Amino acid sequence: MLDHTLKNTNLTYRFPKNFWWGSAASGPQTEGAAQSDGKKPNIYDYWYSIEPESFHNKVGPEHTSDFYHRYKQDIQLMKEVGHNSFRTSIQWSRLIPKGDGKVNLQAVNFYNRVIDELIANDIEPFMNLYHFDMPMCMQEKGGWESREVINAYVKFAETCFRLFGDRVKYWFTFNEPIVPVEAGYLYNLHYPKIVDFKRGAQVAHNTIVAHAKAVEIFKKLNVKGKIGIILNLTPSYPRSENLEDVQAAHVADLFFNRSFLDPVTKGEYPKELIGILKERELLPAVEPEDLQVIRQNRIDILGVNYYQPRRVKAKTKPEPAGAPFMPEHLFDPYIKPDRKINPHRGWEICEEVIYDIMMDIRDNYGNIPFFISENGMGVEGEEKFRNSEGFIEDDYRIEFIQEHLKWVHKGLGEGANCLGYHLWTFMDNWSWANAYKNRYGLVEVDLKNDLNRTIKKSGRWYKQLSANNGF
């Protein structure tokens, strides 16, 4: 057990009372039991069954961290590393295995037990409804290209609100909804591996409609809580102050940030983005009531996932004739020569961007209540940092969190309405095609030794951070 006499009054960075300290995860990345107790395949279960070689070391979604069977142990560990809140997701393919049919009572019992166990340990459950895990039976109907699937999702959301809304006070409709668009419909990274911008635009629009309809039903049911969405905000920075570079960054921001942020907070799409798509005949099909339901059902709270910035420059050469349209036809990526980098993952580390996001929300989005819903540092080959006492000595992760929190603290001091900080993630977990390649957890999961859990140095430090409400 860790030392619980951790109170320290000599703090440089103090955070507001009742600040959320915790982490984020998802059902498909942690539960395991992928084909057990009535659960049916989602798109990742199916993709792994037909292309296991597409996954790092051929490790598929059955081989996650087994939270399904070890949730009590894991929630005790959450308490031990200072959590007062925790976000996970309800798997649609577990709760309603046929997508739009009968509720699976074994799943209801599982999620009830998880929610009750969190609350019994003074950990506020934050529940997300969709984390990239389309039920395969719904994908066969067209996935997010299908209006039928929108309606099925809304029924799923309503079922969750009715079953668990008496205890869950913070709900989120989607996590990073742009990622299935990018990975599944633009860049050929994830199933269904379609490269078609117009179909991707339809997926994006239908996702926003599904989100708005879920918000609508939440409010009609008078659920006593808040509902929002989790967006990965990746600010676009120009190479220079040259007008062409600045415009390139603005266009990138329209595609990758404002395409989702504006409709969920302002109830409308950016007019410039509509203009760009209209000019290229790439606008999705829109039903007459869609824009009204988006306008009338805005979020109560926003989750912000931040990992790294996007850097761009003006387009220097045209794309080959006949190439399918991509946002990158309008700008080029740019690598900042003096950037700081995570050598174990290859991503840029730029902590002050989190402050820029906070100021943007304060100044341009009505200072809506939000929290940092993901931020974290992935490390490949992390076992090399194991010390003589047997735990991972991840000082680099402690430094990463501290440096980001300094900028969060600054943003709070300047009036940003930030309610908390959730790290990605609590324990090392399976991550789509990357499987367990990069480790992000405060707690190590030993794949070679019965999935044993061991708190890393960062987990011990995180306990102190939470106990002191600062550092």
Q: Give pLDDT tens digits for 70-99.
A: 999 999 999 999 999 999 999 999 999 999
- Model pLDDT, residue 1: 38
- Spell out the domain ranges in the chain: 20-468
Residues marked active site are found at 176, 374
The whole-angstrom separation of Cα 155 and Cα 99 is 9
- Residues 128-186: pLDDT tens digits? 999 999 999 999 999 999 999 999 999 999 999 999 999 999 999 999 999 999 999 99
Hey, what amino acid is at 373?
Answer: S
- Model pLDDT, residue 3: 44
- Model pLDDT, residue 8: 65
Report CA 425 to chain centroid distance, whole Å: 11
| DSSP codes of every residue in 112-128 | HHHHHHHHHTT-EEEEE
Hey, what amino acid is at 145?
Answer: E
The whole-angstrom separation of Cα 214 and Cα 203 is 16
Task: Say if residues 441 and 86 touch (Cβ distance below 8 Å).
Answer: no
Quick one: which of 65, 6, 119, 138 has its CA closest to 467?
Answer: 6
DSSP secondary structure letter of residue 283: P
DSSP run (H or E) holding 162: helix 147-164
Global confidence as pTM: 0.96
pLDDT means per 10 residues, the chain with 471 residues, are 53 96 98 95 97 94 93 98 98 97 97 98 98 98 98 98 98 98 97 97 98 98 97 97 98 98 98 97 96 98 98 90 92 95 92 98 98 97 95 97 98 98 97 95 96 98 98 97
Structure tokens at 432: 């789509």
For 86, phi then psi, to 5°, come to -155, 130
Of 3.50.50.100, 3.40.50.300, 3.20.20.80, 3.40.190.10, which CATH number belongs to 20-468?
3.20.20.80
